[in-house]
Structure 1
Amino acid sequence: MIFKLLLLTGFILTLHGCSVNLSNSSNNNYDVGQNYISRYLVPNQLPAPATIKSVQLYRKGNTNSPPVIKLGSSEQLVLSFDELSNASGQFRITFTHHDQQWNPSNIPQDWYLAGMNEVIVGGGKKNQLSEPDYFHYSTEFPNDQLSFETSGNFMLHVIDFSSGTRLFSLPFFVTEEAGEMTSWVETKYNAGRRFGALDRPFSEYIYPDFIEFPQFDLSFYFAQNRFWGDIKQSEHFDFSEEDRTQFHLSEDNAFPANFDFIGLNLNNFSVDGSQIIDWFPERNPPEVILRRDILNFSATPSSGWRTSFGNPETGVESRYANIRFRFQDGGDFSSNQGVYLVGDFNQWVLSEDNKLKYNNQTGYWETSELIKEGTYTYKYAIKSGRDGIDDLILSDAVTRSNQEYTSFVYFQDPDYRYQRLLNVQVFRSSASR
């Protein structure tokens, strides 16, 4: 153990320098020092550029599963994405380990990863139908060449092989499934902003035998709807029982119980009379016009929501189109106020690329997004303060809808001083005790 601790000390500065270089490379398409406004993005995560579309990361076997695998198991994660290009490319995927706040763990690579810290992805499948041209890529990990040696928060980084440019990164989790966890939700009505309902998730965790000082070595977190960038640490604990603890959020730190999504069904680019009202296949790229959304009227809470990425089609005949969104606010916002389209097709990021423009002739806020055939969810949002997001003001502000929550239990390893992820549990607000 002493040898490993000495080894860790010698590696800290080197690894810290590597992480800084990774985050601030001048070759990046984005300035990663920029504060991207998104509930999904975690610190140090790089969003995908405009040339990368239909990104997915899920546990193999179910595209709706969260990016969580068990340490030492046969479970794998699947990464897939499209590159808008008329030529096949090649990519390197590397991995970094992080603490529960997404800071680099600064432990030697061979402590958290066995094999080469590299997955090469190339070839790709070219689309067979309309413009724009794209290639679809997919890979699975861990595999015979790479495995994870410790639990915790991880991030994968997709790098262009020829230029060395880091294109984007994604968070995922490796859990030990140590101990036992039971979770539930308590809802309080008329307690939130604009008199909306609030959800307070609760969990009870039974410790594994190796936990000696739970009050000092354990920390607890909750995430809503897989928005990893908006994760909240539990401030309340009950250690009165010898073998377990209960933890929960305070009312001041509770989640909105009325967070809803608008469903987007693009399985077929054709006029359906309900959502798609016009279709122009002759344009390059093709264009789809959606029925207008109306403030506090068209919100359709989706109890079946289970993914941050949507479900884009993966076949070589799947098409992209410019999807025209139109939003009617009832005159509540001035023409110079920023309204943004956020969804699982753009990593829920508020950016100038998805800012709506007010059309004085129609009275609608409008924008277009290049999206592949499939099913998605989205919302309209405004900026709140300098770095915040208000994605509830433009939706149903009262109705309680079924939310998905994730509980995390972290253990500060007393020997090696890094954060192990002991247990993860996904549950819904319909769960009660």
Structure 2
Amino acid sequence: KFQVSFRFPNPDLKFRISGNYLLTVEDGDTGLILFTKVFFVTENVGEVISSVEKRMSRDDRLRRRDYPVSRYLLPEDLENPQFNLKFFYVQNGFWGQAAEAEELDFSMEEEVQFEMRQEQPFVGDMEFLRLPLSDVTIQSAVFAEVEPADEPPKIALFDDVQGFSASLSQNSPSRMSKVRHHPDSRYAEVFFRFDPEAELPPDTNIFLTGGFSNWQIQERYRMEYDAGRDRWVGSAVMKEGEYAYKYVLVENGRMNDTALDDLFSRTQQEYHALVYFRDPDRFYHRLLQVHSFR
């Protein structure tokens, strides 16, 4: 077992262009991708002020709807902002589902107001489940079985049952995970079992995602249907810490991140507002500012 630490920017590695980046760590011998991390580099110019309007939907599912609303205080000397600025929202760190804010108001001289269209709200009660994994060798209330002598230790969780599994409370961070960054921290292979409300075909694309995967959809976390147990099963190698996670559907290449939720979840949602500027001299979109809010 070994751990590697690398900090950047540093004197040998600096960023010249702002924007969105993907860090990929591979095994040099096999080419196997070991780790990926989405991050962004912002120029930190101007200021974004945001809030969330919460409403109940009028359909038969009665889900809450979130409408982020933001103001961008313009920096000086920004060329033709009404033509060159673009605004996006990202919910709960699902970067692949960034949504462009198309309701723009440039009527005020020193700021821009932006928001989503009324027919494009975010789901305000997306569910997240919690896994406390502070010690992978000791029995816990959420562990059905533990094999501490294995390397890495193996942990089987109790079933997650759609509509009955405990989610994070409304006052808790929605998708935050806290990995234990210590040289003595251990890893474990954690086995998940999921029981959806509806009977789904065995070839349904159900994926496990969470803080351990940086909320990305990866083939290694695809759930398989176990006919003997009548459960969907999957596993993940995780470091000691505390994790938020969820089950999602992938349909026609698109992630449906609410199809397997409890309809009455009270979890708190997290948003990022991103401001891009199409620079006519540099021929790319600069990331001017990012604002995180709930």
Category of TM-score, reference length = shorter chain: 0.7 to 0.9
Task: Please state how far the C-alpha of 1:306 moved relative to its aligned partner.
Answer: 5.3
Helix, strand or coil: the match of 1:136? coil
Q: Deviations over 1:117-170 (max 9, x none)?
A: xxxxxxxxxxxxxxxxx3211111111223333433334444556788876653
Instruction: Output aligned runs, 1:321-360, within 5 Å.
Output: 321-330=188-197, 332-360=199-227
In structure 2, give the amino acid aligned to 1:253. Answer: Q
CA spacing shift, 1:340–1:167, aligned 2, 3 Å = closer
Instruction: Output aligned runs, 1:98-117, within 5 Å.
Output: none
In the alignment, which of 272, 286, 290 is matched to residue 420 of structure 1?
A: 286
Helix, strand or coil: the match of 1:327? strand
In structure 2, give the amino acid aligned to 1:402. Answer: Q
1:197–1:398 contact (8 Å) kept in structure 2: no
Helix, strand or coil: the match of 1:353? helix
In the alignment, which of 198, 213, 223 is matched to residue 65 of structure 2?
A: 198
Q: Deviations over 1:81-129 (max 9, x none)?
A: xxxxxxxxxxxxxxxxxxxxxxxxxxxxxxxxxxxxxxxxxxxxxxxxx
Q: Deviations over 1:230-288 (max 9, x none)?
A: 1111111011111111000113322111112101111112212x211321123343211
CA spacing shift, 1:342–1:306, aligned 2, 3 Å = closer
* Counterpart for residue 240 of structure 2: 373
Is 2:172 aligned against 1:172? no
CA spacing shift, 1:154–1:364, aligned 2, 3 Å = closer
Gaps of 5+ in 2: none
Task: Please state how far the C-alpha of 1:294 moved relative to its aligned partner.
Answer: 1.1
Which structure has the larger Rg?
A: 1
CA spacing shift, 1:334–1:415, aligned 2, 3 Å = closer
In the alignment, which of 267, 275, 278 is matched to residue 401 of structure 1?
A: 267
Task: Say which structure, 1 or 2, has more relative contact order (CA 8 Å, 6+ apart).
Answer: 2
Number of equivalenced pairs: 291
Task: Please state how far the C-alpha of 1:224 moved relative to its aligned partner.
Answer: 0.9
| Bigger mean CA deviation after superposition, 203-212 or 343-352 | 343-352
In the alignment, which of 59, 78, 101 is matched to residue 234 of structure 1?
A: 101
* Counterpart for residue 3 of structure 2: 136
* Counterpart for residue 14 of structure 1: none
Provide TM-score, normalisation by structure 1.
0.61
Is 2:178 aligned against 1:311? yes
Measured in 2, the distance between the counterparts of 1:288 and 1:165 equals 24
In structure 1, give the amino acid aligned to 2:286. Answer: R
Measured in 1, the distance between the counterparts of 2:59 and 2:42 equals 33
* % same residue: 37
* Counterpart for residue 87 of structure 2: 220
Is 2:114 aligned against 1:279? no
Measured in 2, the distance between the counterparts of 1:157 and 1:167 equals 8
Helix, strand or coil: the match of 2:14? strand
CA spacing shift, 1:416–1:320, aligned 2, 3 Å = closer
Measured in 2, the distance between the counterparts of 1:369 and 1:169 equals 15
Task: Please state how far the C-alpha of 1:315 moved relative to its aligned partner.
Answer: 2.6
Task: Please state how far the C-alpha of 1:183 moved relative to its aligned partner.
Answer: 0.5
Helix, strand or coil: the match of 2:181? coil
2:208–2:247 contact (8 Å) kept in structure 1: yes
CA spacing shift, 1:267–1:424, aligned 2, 3 Å = same
Is 2:255 aligned against 1:389? yes
Measured in 2, the distance between the counterparts of 1:178 and 1:349 equals 29
Q: RMSD over aligned Cα, in angstroms? A: 2.6
Provide TM-score, normalisation by structure 2.
0.87
Measured in 2, the distance between the counterparts of 1:271 and 1:201 equals 42
CA spacing shift, 1:191–1:349, aligned 2, 3 Å = farther
Instruction: Output aligned runs, 1:36-51, within 5 Å.
Output: none
CA spacing shift, 1:235–1:364, aligned 2, 3 Å = same
Is 2:163 aligned against 1:296? yes
Task: Please state how far the C-alpha of 1:207 moved relative to its aligned partner.
Answer: 0.8
Measured in 1, the distance between the counterparts of 2:127 and 2:278 equals 35
CA spacing shift, 1:337–1:230, aligned 2, 3 Å = closer
2:193–2:233 contact (8 Å) kept in structure 1: yes
Measured in 2, the distance between the counterparts of 1:381 and 1:155 equals 22
Gaps of 5+ in 1: 1-133, 429-433
In structure 1, give the amino acid aligned to 2:212. Answer: F
